[in-house]
Amino acid sequence: MQSKYQSLKHYFPVIRTREEILMEIRRSPKLSTIFDSWTTEHQDLFLDICTGSKGVKMLYDSYFKEILNPETKPERLSWLLSVILSQKVTVKHQLANDNNRLGDEASLVITDIVVELEDGTIANIEVQKIGYKFAGERASCYMADLLMRQYKRIKTKCKNANKKFNYKDVPPVYTIIFMESSPSDFKNYPNVLMHTFRHKSDSGLELKMLENCIFIPIDIFRDRLHNEGIKDDFDAWLTFLGCDNIEYISTLIEKYPDFKPMYQDLYDICLNVEEVMQMFSKELQELDHNTVIYMIDELQDQLDEAKGQLDEAKGQLDEAKDQLDEAKDQLDEAKDQLDEANATISEKDAAISMKDATIADLQLKIKALESRLSK
């Protein structure tokens, strides 16, 4: 895809040049210290973002919560959720996050926002840098936790309003998981950009079940974007959230101008170099932490796999030893039988020898008698 421009400055004149930004950084010892603590690669990335040479993946926590802030810009998140849920929804307000994650479950989560919709539905929007293994099992635990939170909220509301609690008053809950790098299971469905899970009876009976979970693999969308382009609102949102290529961003802005104010907000933030550097540093720290956690998980998996192979080899060795012991027992038994047979043969040989001697003696006696008779 050929770019008409080398920078997004054509769309956002407020964007400054690389030299202007570097000059401001070097004027401040504090900012210089932060900038110099980054790798050359990260320095270039920061400058590319601020100068519009490269876009921003809005999935990252600082940018997502700033640009799609449900308190200050609820209409933006309402639009996103309406596209995903295929129905008009309105974000009422943001709810405090429940920090009681199971174990270290938040380690690879880079964004996590819980909002209440106008009809009382709770939606948890989560972004995973690297999709978890056992995604279904983990999501089930999150959903159970989110539903219990919803149940307690409604029960408390009923109590405060002196109203009798009824289960029919409990609105549904949604967990929407964006995965920047999805697990291998999702790669088996390269043409599916959204996987929706909800309870369904095998008999055809329909009941109002409250748990809904949606997985959206951003990496699979990016693989398709080059060939298929931006076809609808859903594609537009995934481009906005997960694509930093300015060619696609240019196409997005021209085809869907409602996204332009969102990018404008970002580049307005970039005018405050200190603020945007702090945001960028936070993302780098989070990504470094996530990478370490991921590497630990990978090493643990390798260790578990090696241990499994060692246990399997030990089992095979024990089995071979048992077979060897069994063969030895069979050999000993055969030897005992052979010794017993040899002993029997020896006894029979002795008996035969004794009989032979008796026969010889009798033959001598017969000859002696015959000799006497012949006289």
Angle (CA) 196 58 237, round 5°: 45
Query: Over the stretch 125-179, which tens digit does the pLDDT of each residue have?
Result: 988 877 666 788 888 888 899 999 999 999 999 999 999 999 999 999 999 999 9
Residue 265 pLDDT: 93
Nearby residues of 92 by Cβ (< 8 Å), 6 or more positions away:
74, 115, 116, 117, 118
Long-range own/partner contacts, residues 247-256 (CB < 8 A, 24 or more apart): 247/1, 247/2, 247/3, 248/1, 248/55, 249/8, 249/55, 250/3, 250/4, 250/5, 250/8, 250/11, 251/1, 253/11, 255/230, 256/230
pLDDT band of 56, cuts 50, 70, 90: confident
Residue 112 pLDDT: 79
Residue 192 pLDDT: 95
Query: How far apart (Å, rounded) are the C-alpha atoms in residues 163 and 156?
Result: 10
- Domain boundaries in the chain? 8-273
Query: Over the stretch 296-342, which tens digit does the pLDDT of each residue have?
Result: 555 566 677 788 888 888 888 888 898 998 889 899 888 989 988 88
Residue 108 pLDDT: 44
pTM of the model: 0.73
What number is the average pLDDT over the span 103-115?
60
pLDDT band of 2, cuts 50, 70, 90: very low
